[in-house]
Structure 1
């Protein structure tokens, strides 16, 4: 078959990662021993129904390439955000927070808000897909972490909150809740494999990307009424 199949997997296939050491800093958690982030060699631990559903597809893609020679790639994606994302609390949290701030809706923070994620702008994700398709015959049957990496991280509220307040011109009120089961204190993707094999790296940093997203939401309030 000539068709290329690129599967949108997730960092949730690595599970809650409770065994990975983290250190608490003033505004964020950080890995104790992984300065480049978590690589594709990390053990899979689906840990949740969502992780299980994505992880099952992830493994099917790798096995179909290995057994039947299908032209598949797996992208284990971090937090994707950008214009035209209609984020909700459980999916697309960056856009959800921005939409809530613009529309004056409540935001719930579970845990202490120091949880760290690497963020990837959708335009950078699209470039990764284009490169994956262009190199499918050389790279088929492999999994790649596709995320913002160590240079594009943000704690979900201790650092994101002040950035959002600056854009809005006022403090953003939040409701606090308990930690959710399986919530990783830190997830930062090690994207060195994608850099080496695809020649890919993110171009848009979180400050620039979130500012652009905020401007789009503010200019399109009618879409969120």
Structure 2
């Protein structure tokens, strides 16, 4: 099998590329990336050592695809992933990458009749609707109630039939627009596709920032003994997310590559689920235990733009269709990332400290 991974030097793309090459040494795995995100250059030596073929290119450029060979499958893992991207009034890079870049990926896949696996985001679900959901305030977290004002949500989390009306961030909108185009290519061009709406992805080699990669950011601040803050929702740190280790995501993508007929045309919510969820307050406790460091955390009551109180993925559909479910919990995620920080401290300190 020949596979192209766009965003192949990014956190998710490089993890998938390296794992695929390790598990299928006879596969040809190509990684395409423009290396815009700081830290992605650190993955080049890792890709080379694994036998992944790297091409410096940009999905915004149709000409960059013309130089690529035919492949059997495309994994579209490229994106400007920040939920705050474009909110400063300059959304051009965001839209050109996340929407028009996806069109170039689709046309390349169509040209070679390649299967198309798309990594979308839970951010396609509207902010205001999520913020009006019924919840209970527990000792260390907010939790979803079973009784809700809209379909597609329960105490287990948010499912694929959650309403899509309303604003969701420019980032979420570009990904949803891409999803709509992918469905058209599937229906009218016969392109075989699957869309994965991923929750919070994390793991080693993610260059965490405030607006994207919060898990790594939180652990790194503990590791390097720097300050953090509980922002919004009263400053209590009770806002909750589920976390999916990239190794768990890889197991699903591996399955989809080899069984695409069984999920062709599907949209799947993919995340850590309730079992691998944590509030910032709970995450802080685990970070303290694993790193041995207690750091100052300020409380800021004011809620930030585009933030949400809680998001947990309901994995029922993807589990029923594929048998997949996440296996790596919060504590092991923290342990993995802490070990990675210790092993690569010299290279990572300038980026994460």
Q: TM-score range by the shorter chain?
A: over 0.9
Q: Which moved more, 1:110-119 or 1:170-179?
A: 170-179
Partner of 1:29: 142
Task: Go from structure 1 to structure 2 and tell me whether the alpha carbon gap of 1:223 and 1:109 turns closer, same or farther (over 3 Å shift).
Answer: farther
- 1:77 CA displacement: 0.4
TM-score, structure 2 as length reference: 0.61
Partner of 2:341: 217
C-alpha RMSD of matched pairs (Å): 1.5
Which whole-Å CA distance do the structure 1 matches of 2:220 and 2:294 have between them? 15
- 1:105 CA displacement: 3.0
1:186-201 equivalence runs, <5 A = 186-201=310-325
Equivalent in 27, 31, 40 of residue 160 of structure 2: 40
Which whole-Å CA distance do the structure 1 matches of 2:167 and 2:213 have between them? 19
Partner of 2:262: 138
- 1:194 CA displacement: 0.7
Q: Which moved more, 1:79-88 or 1:58-67?
A: 58-67
Equivalent in 48, 62, 67 of residue 183 of structure 2: 62
The answer to whether the aligner puts 1:12 opposite 2:123 as a matched pair is yes
Which whole-Å CA distance do the structure 2 matches of 1:108 and 1:218 have between them? 23
Per-residue CA distance 1:46-82 (angstroms, 9 max, x = gap) = 4211111221112222222122221111100011111
Equivalent in 289, 296, 313 of residue 166 of structure 1: 289
Q: Is the 8 A contact 1:62 1:143 kept in 2?
A: no
Per-residue CA distance 1:10-46 (angstroms, 9 max, x = gap) = 1111122123211111110011121221110111244
Q: Give the helix-richer structure, 1 or 2.
A: 2
Runs of 4+ in 1 over 3 A off after TM superposition: none
Gaps of 5+ in 2: 1-109, 147-153
Q: Is the 8 A contact 2:203 2:333 kept in 1?
A: yes
Which whole-Å CA distance do the structure 2 matches of 1:190 and 1:32 have between them? 13
Q: Is the 8 A contact 1:101 1:168 kept in 2?
A: yes
Equivalent in 195, 202, 216 of residue 74 of structure 1: 195
| DSSP 3-state at the match of 1:151 | helix
Task: Go from structure 1 to structure 2 and tell me whether the alpha carbon gap of 1:138 and 1:46 turns closer, same or farther (over 3 Å shift).
Answer: farther
Q: Which moved more, 1:170-179 or 1:195-204?
A: 170-179
Equivalent in 84, 93, 116 of residue 205 of structure 2: 84
Q: Is the 8 A contact 1:98 1:217 kept in 2?
A: no
Equivalent in 179, 185, 208 of residue 332 of structure 2: 208
Q: Is the 8 A contact 1:78 1:148 kept in 2?
A: yes
- 1:153 CA displacement: 0.7
Q: Is the 8 A contact 2:225 2:294 kept in 1?
A: no
Which whole-Å CA distance do the structure 2 matches of 1:105 and 1:151 have between them? 29
Question: Larger C-alpha radius of gyration, 1 or 2?
Answer: 2
Q: Is the 8 A contact 2:119 2:195 kept in 1?
A: yes
Per-residue CA distance 1:183-204 (angstroms, 9 max, x = gap) = 2211111101111111101111
